[in-house]
Structure 1
Amino acid sequence: MNADHDTFWFMSFRTTSGVTTLNGTFKKEPHATRIAAFEQIRALVKEQQPHLADAIVIAFDVQSNRLDW
């Protein structure tokens, strides 16, 4: 994982063959919104996983990747 990636995400999809869940990290832009992150991640998934282009997103989360105990 890139140390500059301060945000963790996961996205689950419903496909004709079942459910697929992906996750990753990225560096968020200053003042980014959750909807902007969703759209950015969704576009990345469509580009990297073309078979998920028409899949339905059934779950999504984005949050800080840091665990400051």
Structure 2
Amino acid sequence: MKVNYEKLRPLTQELRSALCTNEAAAHLNRAPQTLRQWAMRESGPIRVLRVNGRLAWSVADIKRVMGVQ
């Protein structure tokens, strides 16, 4: 899934509690594969959530890492 950066909601306006890997990577300015590596190695600054076998990334954790209130 490609992320349309023009439609990407700012973190300060994000209402969801978790984002898919591609959206989280876009906010973090990282490649989606980097986040997948973090999940596999459990080594990144954000812990992954696994929901029915899919990866999800906490908006609160992304905000914390990015310094957004």
Tell me the TM-score range normalised by the shorter chain: under 0.3
| Structure with higher strand content | 1
Higher relative contact order (CA 8 A, sep 6+): 1
Greater Rg by CA: 1
Q: TM-score, normalised to structure 1's length?
A: 0.27
Q: TM-score, normalised to structure 2's length?
A: 0.27
